[in-house]
Structure 1
């Protein structure tokens, strides 16, 4: 006949095991929430305002670059004329 020599786990071991599992499950949930995309920001844009969102026309981008001071007036006028000429030849 086989007997139990230790009497099983004590009360402290059960508490430790319960806390371990609670912390482990909480850490997994926290990681999932942090790594998965949030649906609460579905209406917000993810691109900064100075970057192209894919919906702007080339003239809009050129206007924005000129307004931001990235290009000077002569460059702006030359590129704008080239874009309008290219658009008219299509």
Structure 2
């Protein structure tokens, strides 16, 4: 008979139901966490006043020149010459 009068569940039945409830609540919690994270994330190209938005890091010309020198793309003489040009150009730009 199919448990018409006696609805006792065996050990495997309890195990299956317990595992099913853990999986069910795990899926519900995961869905809420993913929904919350997707709603709190700023949209790509969003406004700069979003909570987690940070401006892109800008590298100064001196830093770029130093990186090229460190990589060996230019020698010390070229580095010094270009650095002088950068500093003289910067001083001229601030006068205008």
Q: TM-score range by the shorter chain?
A: 0.3 to 0.5
The answer to which structure has the higher helix fraction is 2
Give the structure, 1 or 2, with the largest relative contact order (CA under 8 Å, sep 6 or more). 1
TM-score of the superposition, structure 2-length normalised?
Answer: 0.40
